[in-house]
């Protein structure tokens, strides 16, 4: 049987300032690590929640964002003829032909950013019922009015009700604000699609077409019909949720890569901290190690006891780091999404996976930092260590 775990744990507890500093060091690194993953996941989650599973978004195959996609009027007509499209009680198909443009606006804290303006069709409330007016009123179709998403309303100048936003040579009055379950739509302006086409002289070529299916299950049958139509060859139909989730890939990869790179560098420091702490522990307890060995405990038992101690230290640091990081869930930040080149607000989001990864990361620091000191402890000669009074 091995040296009781209590030995490792109590030794770890009975220690001093170096131990606390080491725990704080590990906690900080894990905090940053968890924060980065929470940020990346927050972006992904926000965009994923933007789309619905029973909506289909059609864009040009070659386009990797909505603004670079073009769907001409005759293609819009073809799409209308496809099966499985949901209809309102008045018989009109729930389809929104959406021109998407980007405008510049000043942030409240200074600096300019890109904002998406989305033109929508009249069936929009049936297409995206999650979008809810919070103040003011909806824009009127046929006028140059806009409603503004919560995030833009809070963070940008000239995005309040009554303000006039200038673009495409005209002034567009903000008449209402809306929320959309914290999704990416909250980082957009919405107005009448036809007015937008008109103002930008685009004829009737919109960016994307989004339609509601009779049910999420009818997607396959819709897609078959879509793919069979040769006139739609240059276009691609995706479940709206999947489409927007894909719009997170660049930003998620960028945040993850940069974040992991930074935290790995930080973690070298924390690992060395753990190593110093454990070397000190071994030095202070040399006689104890000799005693345990003379009682009949083996080198392996000593190695494990000290590794456990280092692990306890780092896991505790990890728990502290994750605990602190969990408070980030109350914060949201706004930045340019590289896929759409426009502003996106998102919240830090914690998942069980992130908790587990962070603790594994902490444990790795503990094992790496504790390994050499533990090996030293295990390799001591009994007679020498007993003499080290």
Partner 1 sequence: MPPLIQIQDVSKSYMRDSFEVPVLNNINLDIEEGEFMALMGPSGSGKTTLLNLIAGIDKPSSGKIKVSDTDISQLSETALAKWRANNIGFVFQFYNLIPVLTAYENVELPLLLTPLSKKERKKQAETALEIVGLADRMKHYPKQLSGGQEQRAAIARAIVTDPLVIIGDEPTGDLDKNSAEEILTLMERLNKEFKKTLLIVTHDPHAAERANITKHIDKGDLV
Ligand X SMILES: Nc1ncnc2c1ncn2[C@@H]1O[C@H](COP(=O)(O)OP(=O)(O)OP(=O)(O)O)[C@@H](O)[C@H]1O
> Do the beta carbons of residue 117 and residue 131 sit within 8 Å?
no
Closer residue to partner 1 (CB): 17 or 295: 295
Count of positions on this chain that bind ligand X (CB under 6 A): 2
161 binds partner 1 (CB under 8 A): no
Q: In whole angstroms, what is the distance from residue 83 CA to residue 365 CA?
A: 57
Alpha-carbon span 335 to 252, nearest angstrom: 12
Q: Which of 190, 383, 388, 389 binds ligand X (CB under 6 A)?
A: 383
Are the CB atoms for 114 and 336 separated by under 8 Å?
A: yes
Site string for ligand X, 326-365 (x = CB under 6 A): ----------------------------------------
Rounded Cα gap, residues 215 and 96, in angstroms: 17
Task: For residue 228, count CB atoms less than 10 angstroms from its CB and return exposed for 0-12, middle for 13-18, buried for 19 or more.
Answer: exposed
Those residues with Cβ within 8 angstroms of residue 77's Cβ, 6 or more apart along the chain or in another chain: none
User: Which of residues 1 and 17 has its CB atom nearest to partner 1 in the complex?
Assistant: 1
384 binds ligand X (CB under 6 A): yes
3-state SS class at 387 = helix
For position 386 contacting partner 1 by CB under 8 A, the verdict is yes
Q: Which is nearer to ligand X, 242 or 382 (CB)?
A: 382
Q: What does the block give as tokens for 298?
A: 């083996």
Does 389 engage in binding with partner 1 (CB under 8 A)? Answer: yes
Tokens read off for 9: 């744990």
CB atoms within 10 A of CB 256: 16
Choose, by CB under 8 A, the member of 225, 260, 276, 382 that binds partner 1.
Answer: 382
Choose the one of ligand X, partner 1, none that binds residue 14, judging by a C-beta under 5 to 8 angstroms depending on kind. partner 1
Look at residue 168 and give the partner it binds from ligand X, partner 1, none, a contact being a CB closer than 5 to 8 Å depending on partner kind. Answer: none
Site for partner 1 in 257-316 (CB under 8 A): 287-288, 290-299
By the 8 A CB rule, do 146 and 190 touch? yes
Which spans of this chain sit near ligand X (rule: CB under 6 A)? 383-384
Which spans of this chain sit near partner 1 (rule: CB under 8 A)? 1-4, 6-7, 10-11, 13-14, 287-288, 290-299, 382-383, 386, 389
């Amino acid at each position: 049987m091995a040296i009781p775990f209590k030995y490792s744990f109590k030794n770890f507890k009975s220690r001093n300032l170096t131990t606390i500093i080491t725990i704080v060091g590990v906690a900080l690194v894990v905090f940053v690590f968890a924060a980065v993953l929470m940020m990346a996941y927050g972006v992904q989650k926000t965009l994923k929640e933007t789309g619905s599973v029973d909506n289909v978004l059609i864009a040009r195959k070659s386009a990797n964002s909505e603004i670079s996609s073009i769907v001409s009027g005759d293609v819009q007509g073809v799409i209308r003829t496809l099966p499985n499209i949901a209809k309102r009680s008045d018989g009109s198909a729930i389809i929104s032909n959406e021109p998407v443009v980007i405008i510049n606006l000043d942030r409240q804290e200074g600096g300019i950013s890109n904002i998406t303006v989305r033109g929508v069709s009249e069936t929009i409330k049936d297409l995206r019922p999650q979008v809810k007016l919070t103040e003011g009123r909806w824009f009127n179709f046929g006028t140059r009015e806009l409603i503004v998403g919560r995030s833009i309303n809070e963070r940008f100048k000239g995005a309040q009700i009554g303000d006039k936003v200038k673009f495409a040579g005209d002034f567009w009055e903000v008449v209402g604000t809306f929320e959309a379950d914290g999704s990416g739509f909250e980082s957009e302006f919405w107005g009448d699609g036809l007015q937008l086409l008109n103002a930008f002289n685009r004829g009737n070529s919109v960016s994307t077409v989004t339609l509601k299916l009779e049910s999420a299950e009818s997607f396959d049958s819709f897609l078959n019909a879509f793919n069979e139509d040769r006139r739609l060859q240059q276009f691609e139909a995706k479940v709206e949720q999947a489409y927007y989730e894909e719009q997170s890939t660049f930003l998620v990869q960028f945040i993850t890569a940069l974040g992991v790179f930074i935290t790995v560098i930080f973690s070298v420091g924390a690992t060395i901290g753990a190593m110093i702490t454990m070397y000190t522990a071994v030095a202070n307890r040399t006689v104890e190690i000799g005693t345990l060995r003379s009682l009949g405990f083996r080198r392996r038992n000593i190695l494990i006891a000290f590794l456990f101690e280092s692990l306890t230290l780092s896991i505790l640091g990890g728990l502290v780091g994750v605990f602190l990081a969990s408070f980030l869930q109350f914060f949201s930040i706004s930045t340019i999404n590289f896929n759409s080149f426009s502003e996106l607000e998102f919240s830090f989001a914690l998942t069980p996976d992130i908790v587990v990864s962070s603790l594994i990361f902490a444990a790795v620091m503990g094992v790496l930092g504790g390994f050499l000191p533990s090996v030293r402890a295990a390799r001591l000669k009994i007679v020498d260590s007993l003499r080290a009074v």
